Chains A and B, each alone.
Chain A
Amino acid sequence: MKRRTFLGGAMAVAVFGQGSSAFAQQPPIKIGMSMPQTGGLAGGGKASLLGIEIWRDDVNAKGGLLGRKVELVVYDDKSSASETPAIYAKLVDVDKVDLLFAPYATVPTAPIMPFVKQRGLLLMGNFSFQVNSKVGHDMWFNNAPWGPADSWAASFLDLAQKAGGKNMALLTADQEFAQNLAVTARDVAKKRNIPIVFDQVYPPNTVEFSSIIRALKAAKPDIVYVASYPPDSAGILRAVNEIGIGDSVKIFGGGMVGLQFAAVMSNLGSLLNGVVNYNTWLPEKSMYFDGTKEFFDKYTKRAIEAKVDPLGYYLAPFGYAMGQMIEAAVNSTKSLDQKGIAKYLRENEHKTIVGPIAFSADGERKETATLQAQFRGVKDKDIEQFRSSGKQVILFPDKLKTGELITPFEAARN
């Protein structure tokens, strides 16, 4: 990692030579984090890191923070929870970093929550899900657009009920994230008196879904809520394509991980059509804010060299936004005092390239900005098509909406 940090720094200095003399007098501001660079979460981790690195280069080009250069100290946590406690202890006690960012995803983040709480440290969260709900740390701020725990299922069921859905089928992977979604989906369904006619939890690494999809089809549900991981998301859509899902289904999707990544999307191609799924950022006109376009111009160029997701919609802009929030907080409070920064982050709304962000008391978004979008007119084997608008029409939230739901699912598949 040191080499990359060095190269990034060298590039910034070379391009923006005038800034370097000012940096020379003061030590850099160090931001420490672990990031999954090997293991199951590495694909997302690397894209997220690239977003953060682009922010670092931008902020250094502007003269750094408080006139000091920003430096990232990054270690690989191998996507594992057992690596992060030692890494964060080193970041804090040995490297003496000034600020901490969390690694991408819930599992590597969970073990460091009690640590930062005990030490009274600010932690900027990176796409973990409800990791602070039991710890209750008041200096935690998650960059992900999730919002309140039940908003995910609630927004999908809103769309489904508007389309006339009266009963639901649940298909979920037996893994951490999917089970979190399933629990909230069952709760919301119960509150709204939506009967669950099919509730199947399948083991991770399932590849063959035809029998499950047949059983699901036989239950004749109106709403099909799927919470799955990348390999199974592909398997489920293939099985649906072969067997069909029946005319009763008004809406299909919800929490399928993988359909946000360029490789999976181009691989599935037209099988995606009609699926309504969550997302975080999409190239629709309502999603462009100050600096969004410039960010993606830089990302697209650097993604090739860094060998990460060529689209980078899902994580990278939020890594950049995390930096932007820190930048605003440090510049406003004119200090690196973590309590002051936390107070600023809690009390203000922050302008970022992914839109305005405001936090509630638990450090999650006040309002959900998790998109529900429907795939339309997707062709096979073409990554570039996903760069144009209209391929994933935003249905939720209302203020970002760019179209209406096409229903039933079978009609939307064509």
Chain B
Amino acid sequence: MADNTFMVEIVTPEEILFRDEVSFLVAPGTEGELGIMRNHAPLVGALKIGVLRYKDPNGNQKKLAVSGGFMEVVDNVARVLAETAEHGEHVDVLRAKAARERAEKRLQARDETVNALRAEMALKRAIARLKAAGVE
């Protein structure tokens, strides 16, 4: 069992959120999802706002919402650097839904005072959090 796992570290500016052996990892790369297994070649990949999935050695699938960052894979250690990251089961669904509605309203308003880019990012983050929580 243990011979097909590798180390995953999810690092945010505030803490190391996750650090454990996993057997399979899928990260939201900017050009499409990046699937990583043991003995992957060295890789540096940019990540977009989205959901990161992994399978622990017992075969359970877990999800995390990550926003903005990159992943570096070398010597069977995958290090994900993200500005924010959150375990799916810790997502406050009500808050995430509220955030999504707020961002949608802002985008629809097409007001000059609203920073459309920022609203779009907020919307993407909210959607990623909801997806990680398994709500959508």
A and B: interacting chains: no
Interface residues in chain B, defined as those with a beta carbon under 8 Å from any beta carbon in chain A: none
Interface residues in chain A, defined as those with a beta carbon under 8 Å from any beta carbon in chain B: none
